[in-house]
Amino acid sequence: MSTATITDGAAIGALVTRLAGAPCIGLDTEFMRERTYRPQLCLLQLALPGEICCIDPLGKASLEPLGAAMRAPQIPKIIHAARQDLEVLWPLFGSLEGVFDTQIAAALTGLPAQIGYSDLTGRLLGVHLAKAETRTDWSRRPLSAAQLAYAADDVAHLFALHDALVTRLRQMGRLAWLEEELRDLALPGNLFVDPERAWERLRWAGDLDEDRLRLLKLLAAWRERRAAEKDRPRTWILDDAGLRSLVMQAPRTAAALAQVPELTPGFVERSGGAMLEVIDAAQLPASLPPLTRSRPDPQKTALVKRLSGLVQTVAAELALSPEILATRRELEQIAGGSMDASPLRGWRHEVIGQRLLAVL
């Protein structure tokens, strides 16, 4: 398979013509996001039958002409662990259609839920890939021959993986499962963090009382919006330790805010006023009682344990990782009365949801 590096508009124009007639496209990206909120695209790799193109988005040529093929639902885009690639390509192309995620497909055959590309090529194809450039700086130019070879490898085996996984899923009668899993993969709601739900990413949120949880939701939303506005990592805006201290202490004055040890003087100077406004908006009582960990509801705990045992049993019957059927958090939602949890919808409802409801 030939490999070419594309940096100019004429070469992109020629590629567009070939993409329009391609039966499928293998796709991967290299990006950086250590210093930004949004991932910064540094390289786009496309595989077509017989060729691999490494397209440099940091040059003068526009990648916009590629958009028609990227959005065409009739041209499958084969990607491994597609979520981050879809996120980084969104500003260029919007929602990609026709995505086939080899990681999701592999999980439905019984392989580990988060299996990596290298592990998957080794298991299914007997191909073992080098990992020397895993932590490379893709923003630096020129890219080395080793970097380009590594990038090309990331798409070189996607067609073979696609064919092997489709064969397995067809034999197992699970192609409809995969179609359902991929249907909404590229929707923006599945790619980007909703500021109003940013608090859900914090494990300690479940330990809070009602007042502190209300404050956390407001502070986490502020942090998310601020990070997006400044295009900086959210922890650069306010790290988790500082966020937790604000939630626990809820300082009401500038003097009290300045005494929070987890907050830097620079943060207090820049954002102290905004913090006091958010805390005021939470409409907290005059004083917050000490936070005490509530005792778990023994009946709910026992119910979650029974549901989890059922999931383990069914997963073993289907040779699937249990988290593919239901996560513990989803089981806790079901035990708490939620009827909108993922295990109660679609193909999961058929294989596990009805049995979970029977336990209830």
Same domain, 343 and 266: no
Same domain, 66 and 119: yes
Same domain, 244 and 159: no
Same domain, 20 and 137: yes
- The one-character DSSP state at 30 is E
What domain range is 228 assigned to? 195-281
What is the count of structural domains for the chain?
3
What pLDDT score was predicted for residue 133?
65
- Residues contacting residue 197 through CB under 8 Å, at least 6 positions apart: none
Strand order from edge to edge, sheet including 51-55: 2-6, 51-55, 40-48, 25-32, 77-79, 99-101
Same domain, 38 and 176: yes
What pLDDT score was predicted for residue 134?
67
Which segments of the chain have a pLDDT < 50? none
Q: How far apart are CA 156 and CA 359, in angstroms?
A: 47
pTM score, whole prediction:
0.91
For residue 154, tell me if it sits in a domain.
yes
Same domain, 217 and 186: no
For residue 339, tell me if it sits in a domain.
yes
Same domain, 200 and 80: no
For residue 291, tell me if it sits in a domain.
no
For residue 302, tell me if it sits in a domain.
yes
CATH of the domain at 77: 3.30.420.10
CATH of the domain at 244: 1.10.150.80
* Contact status, residue 327 vs residue 356, Cβ threshold 8 Å: no
Query: Looking at 148, 163, 191, which one is the last position of a domain?
Result: 191
What pLDDT score was predicted for residue 292?
76
Query: Looking at 281, 306, 321, which one is the last position of a domain?
Result: 281
Query: Looking at 150, 174, 191, which one is the last position of a domain?
Result: 191
Buried b (16+ CB within 10 A) or exposed e, 237-258: bbbbebbbbbbbbbbeeeeebe
Same domain, 151 and 229: no
Rg, C-alpha atoms of the chain: 24
User: What number of residues does the chain have?
Assistant: 360
